[in-house]
Amino acid sequence: MAILPIRIWGDPVLKKRAAAVSRITRAERELIEDLKETMAAADGAGLAAPQVGVSKRIFTFRIGEEVHVLINPRITKREGKIIGEEGCLSIPGVQAEVARAKYVVITGKDENGKSVTYRLEDSEETGRAGTCVQHELDHLNGDLYIEKAEPNTLSWLIEDENEMGEPEIALLEATPEEILKSYRAKRLPPKVHISEMLRKRVERD
């Protein structure tokens, strides 16, 4: 297993529709283990293969504390609507509000080629699993959550202090163009809230 470099917004692979997996070989199983390890290292809720530069229809995700895998996933049912905050390992230091289906049924295959079905919605028990699978499926289609963001909700996450001197996260409104420009220039806003792992990916030489 290996921790793979996470691709940052602006990388063309993130805007490409991923290819279906026709056979689950050793290469796919190794990729899945690498996705799991990389997701854990980045403290992510989900991770799609294109986010590590592999254009295949595979992603990992969490239901509570358990990690699951879907290959060639497809949502067969959507019900209701919720609006919640989302972030992305490939768009670090940023969040926005996004409308998603409240309840989804998603099918696919696991790493052993077995057909699986998940019925998911966000809850205390499952965490953000319902939102996560919709977010990760977007990645496989070359779509990014900020393209679906509710108006005027896209913001940098800035480390700040409240009146008591306690740490808190402040929101600094931004546009997609400003964020992409920062990534391409490899210069993040001062005190942006981002893991050291992802900071190195953005500011790498």
Burial of 161 (0-12, 13-18, 19+ CB in 10 A): exposed
119: enclosing H helix or E strand: strand 115-120
CA distances (Å), origin 13, targets 35, 140, 144, 166, 198: 16, 10, 12, 40, 18
CA distances (Å), origin 103, targets 43, 44, 134, 148, 179: 24, 21, 10, 18, 31
Work out the number of other CB atoms within 10 angstroms of the CB of residue 144.
18
**Residue of 28, 86, 111, 136 marked catalytic:** 136
User: Which residue do the tokens 């809850």 mark?
Assistant: 123
CA distances (Å), origin 198, targets 1, 6, 67, 84, 187: 19, 8, 21, 23, 13
**Euclidean distance between CA atoms 169 and 156, whole angstroms:** 10
Catalytic status, residue 136: yes
| Inter-residue contact 18 to 97 (CB < 8 Å) | no
Residues with catalytic function = 136
